[in-house]
Amino acid sequence: MKKAQKVSLILCAAIMMLVGSFAWAKPTAHDSKTLKWTWTVNGDEDNKGSSTITMKEEQIQKMPGYSFSGAITNKYEYGFVNVKLTPDAATLDILKKCTGLSFKVIGDGEPYAVKIITSDVKDYAYYEYRFDTVKDQAITVVVPVEFLMQPSWGKAVGASVNTSLAQLIEFQTTRNGSPGPFAFKLWDFKLYTGGTPELSSAEKKANDQAVKDAAAAEAKLVKPVGGTLTGVVWNMDDNFQYANGYNVYFGDPRLFNGNKISRGETYTLKFTCTSSRDMEAEMRIYLVDHTAAAQYHTELCPQVIVPGSKLKAGVPFTAEITLTTTKGATSANVNANLIGMETEGQGKKGVKGSGVQKPFTITFSQFVFTKK
């Protein structure tokens, strides 16, 4: 009995030493001295979208980097842009063995995703890590490979990413068609092997200070609501599963500019638009909170029926409406401060995709949104 206990203690000690060796293994960092990438960008043109992105090489904090800017549109329902890092042969060998990655980023306050593109994923549901940016402030992002996960909409190919099948690295916007401008910068991209990377205490302290500095700068800003928006397209989706026609939730960071809808406010919307097909009924426009906290549909003002807005295909229509709020949004999140539009049509209620005349688009040549 004593002998068995002694063996058990020896085994436990050995296991603890083994676990400790893994837990405290310091990873090897590979930076631009050894990593060679070809940086390229693309919008959603292959999905018949019109989102744009431009890339410029520049020095950032005395290091080589890239700045990116452009605009997301919802011509493609899930509008997006990509930044691709394609490795040379030697870098690909390191990527296939990597245990994590890191980079520095100056963003616009919007979230983005970094992905490892692998050959076993066939439906674009690549393993990704979504990270927040801090508006106009530099932060360091460290991503162990175990933090990468496939999005829920894709076909799962494994519990974790198989880096041995890696092909390239990709950064992508995560706004899912919410239109408006974006801007961010990337530099000091690294891969790690032989251990799990983590933020150093200095990097964590710098990140915390960046958040504080951004909050202080934001507090000093006077943020006007709305203005003249360009590139606005409403994709009117089949909504017969829940209602009697078609609808859209329109969100754009420029609409409320970080402000939150409150009760008792008055907004004006003036617009000129055309429809891709004849509409079956007039527009009903309102403000809506489309977040989980609002049960995904809480109307913040009465619906306004727009007289004469039963549009004919390609025929311009101009209107001006006033929206007066009776409720406030649950937060300043873009999806909590949306413009909703519904219009009736012929179809079978309770059955998605049963609309007789099918989804359509409304394109705006003028879109002016203001707060009184």
Burial class (CB in 10 A: 0-12, 13-18, 19+), 157: middle
* pLDDT per residue as tens digits for the range 301-335: 999 999 999 999 999 999 999 999 999 999 988 89
Binning pLDDT at 50, 70 and 90, where does residue 3 land?
very low
Domains and CATH numbers, the chain: 27-220 (2.60.120.430), 227-371 (2.60.120)
Give the E-state strand segments of 211-316 in sequence order: 227-228, 233-238, 245-250, 266-275, 284-289, 298-299, 304-305
What's the one-letter identity of residue 54?
T
Asked if 21 and 186 touch (Cβ cutoff 8 Å), the reply is: no
- C-alpha–C-alpha distance, residues 181 and 179, integer Å: 7
> So what's the pLDDT on residue 21?
42
Asked if 187 and 63 touch (Cβ cutoff 8 Å), the reply is: yes
Burial class (CB in 10 A: 0-12, 13-18, 19+), 301: buried
* pLDDT per residue as tens digits for the range 210-243: 999 998 998 888 788 988 998 899 999 999 999 9
99's CB contacts (< 8 A; 6+ apart) are 27, 144, 145, 192, 193, 194, 195, 196, 197
> So what's the pLDDT on residue 231?
85
> So what's the pLDDT on residue 137?
97
- Higher per-residue pLDDT: 74 or 44: 44
Rg, the chain, Cα only: 25
* pLDDT per residue as tens digits for the range 247-282: 999 998 889 988 999 999 999 999 999 999 999 999
Q: How many residues does the chain have?
A: 372
Read off the tokens for 272: 């000129």
| 45 DSSP assignment | G
Binning pLDDT at 50, 70 and 90, where does residue 24 land?
low
Rounded to 5 degrees, φ, ψ at 370 are: -140, 160
Asked if 332 and 259 touch (Cβ cutoff 8 Å), the reply is: yes
- Partners of 249 in beta bridges: 340
Read off the tokens for 275: 């429809």
What SS3 state is found at 215?
helix
- CA 201 to chain CA mean position, Å: 28
Count of C-beta atoms within a 10 Å radius of residue 318: 11
